[in-house]
Structure 1
């Protein structure tokens, strides 16, 4: 992917990896807009020179309105990154967890689908472009305290694969970003081994710049997750990660 002259929308780019990616695309020479729900974060990004759009991926009307605004401002839009996501622990022994699952799936999976649906006609009409979907190493190697997150990201992986197949021949590529634990959005508090954000972004941009661009953007730190089943380490690693269930309130005391 030529990173030097792209027009990029980063949905969910107001913090963490998304914000970092927006800055990296801009530094590479791209025109970058950021969409999200946080007004103060959007104001900060606007002060940095980014285009900003209010967008709530859980709301059909918000997504449609943001799409219209973006395409009016950036008719040359060629890259859409779908970053929006929530990551929350759930205790499956407590039926009250269902509301957390609902919110997680609504944001991570259905929010991604809404954004993809909104911009697919535009990119297909151009005959060229790229969707970047965002899953997680947890999609391939579950973290038991976060079952809804794991399920939603596994679903985004499968959806990305299907979308790529359906868009074959249109000129529109689908690239799946698969982060490991990255030291942003508080993940470093849960996992002290989380990869520093700048290191992660550097690896990602190097991979995105390859020709052809890989279908999955897999930094070194996520390979053990992605290929655990192939490598025969899956069961042992899930058992190891299950020790974190002790963090659930019902398991303490």
Structure 2
């Protein structure tokens, strides 16, 4: 059930096969103002797998999938030339998705570029994967994963979006005061296990809800192409537009 880690690892593998330097940069550093910047971002995100209604083996944390064609959306916050290059990388890829006990062999049968929506300064979104907002005190060993009930949630949400934008784009800067995110419904806590079955195994928890975002157009484009959440390269913060 926690397949997101394996998808993220596969994406890095595809990139590394084509351009080891680019993949290493994404994995180890990400985008940022300079090499010494502590806030570096990996500007891609991906959706959940679309495999219909699988059989759920809850005790074993497994999906049993009968569909023969499965869809996945991947988005990179790059220019059009790089986008066409990346599109070509994924054509006809063959790979195994899973751990050493359970998984599926896949072959990419088709890659299609999807159009962007028409962006406006006020837009409504549905979170398909959880929005992670974390806070770590100086002496804490692990971060706290906040819910919208926590008093720091709203301020850290817009602070992260502004930092993500400002650390990856030059020269125009955006302040948190230019961004307003308003939740439209109740939230549901959800998360994924990362690096399952290893010593580094951990669970990252976020929140699912619908929201209205008022922000400059560039911020909307960024979250559409790179997710709105922390850890977007692990599949968190994938948004879909609400008409």
Higher strand fraction: Structure 1 or Structure 2?
2
Q: Same fold (TM over 0.5)?
A: no
User: Normalising by structure 1, what TM-score?
Assistant: 0.25
Higher relative CO (Cα under 8 Å, sequence separation at least 6) belongs to: 2
User: Normalising by structure 2, what TM-score?
Assistant: 0.26
Higher helix fraction: Structure 1 or Structure 2?
1
